[in-house]
Amino acid sequence: MDCRGSDLPPHVLIFPFHAPSHVGSMLKLAELLCHGGLHVTFLVTHYTHRRLLLHSNVQSRFARYSGFQLETISDGLPEDDPRSGDKIMDLLQSFGVTAKPLLKKFLISNGQQNCNTQKPIKCIIVDGVMSFPIDVAQEIGIPIFSFRASSTCNMWPYFCVPKLIEAGEIPFKGNDLDAPVASVPGMEHFLRRRDLPSFFRVQDVSDRDLQLIFNETHQIPRAQERREKFMQSADRMAKMGKEAVREGGSSSYQLDRLIEDIRLLSAD
């Protein structure tokens, strides 16, 4: 539905992977965006929703924000599945098959709602370990940001896996975790094996979990391909994030720029 001209704020969908640390990080982002005046729908699995209601203060924490709402989606697993430990990676691998059509249906349905209290969703912020929402966003024409819940130092080595393999730095030879790692640009002078994500401690570079995270990470740039204006915004955000990390600070101070970009994208 066309809500242009409405005085209601832009409406953003935040969609985290269901691992607790990812949900926690993206709830903080949701809170900051709500504080910035945006409407936010936070989409989680039924299982995660139950755990949030039982073990967190999410209801009281977001009660002050009338534009915040929790919505749920199926992960396709039985109720008694543990969804933890090694099962996390199984879920990451299978989640897209189950959730992709459900996400598309959810967004299409949301786009048909009236504008009495909230605009339809016009921007998606998805957990950077999931690439299937990028496909959905591009199919229905909604701008999308990929957000990694981990630090820049954690994410960057995944982009460098081919360099590390070519240089023979993974798999590790020997057990010295203090051995230097020289094939991650920008970290050559201080990075050690022990500083790399745990997925790098494999005996075989074809390890499923390493390849899964590597492949999902390399889908992130696709979230910037929708149009030139969005690419310019994403490039500027990436540059500011790098500058903030280099200065020893946090990129969170650029939140106002992110909010402004979302407003501009939602106005089109």
Query: Which residue from 142, 126, 95, 94 is spatially nearest to 220, judged by alpha carbons?
Result: 126
Q: Which of 18, 22, 39, 49 is catalytic?
A: 22
Q: Which residues pair with 147 in a beta bridge?
A: 127
Q: Which of 39, 49, 75, 127 is catalytic?
A: 127
- Residue pair 236/260 in contact by the 8 Å Cβ criterion: no
Please count the other Cβ atoms lying within 10 Å of the Cβ belonging to residue 31: 18
209 annotated active-site: no
DSSP character string of 24-56: HHHHHHHHHHHHTT-EEEEEEEHHHHHHHHHHS
CA atoms within 13 A on the CB side of 2: 3
218 annotated active-site: no
Q: Which residues are catalytic?
A: 22, 127
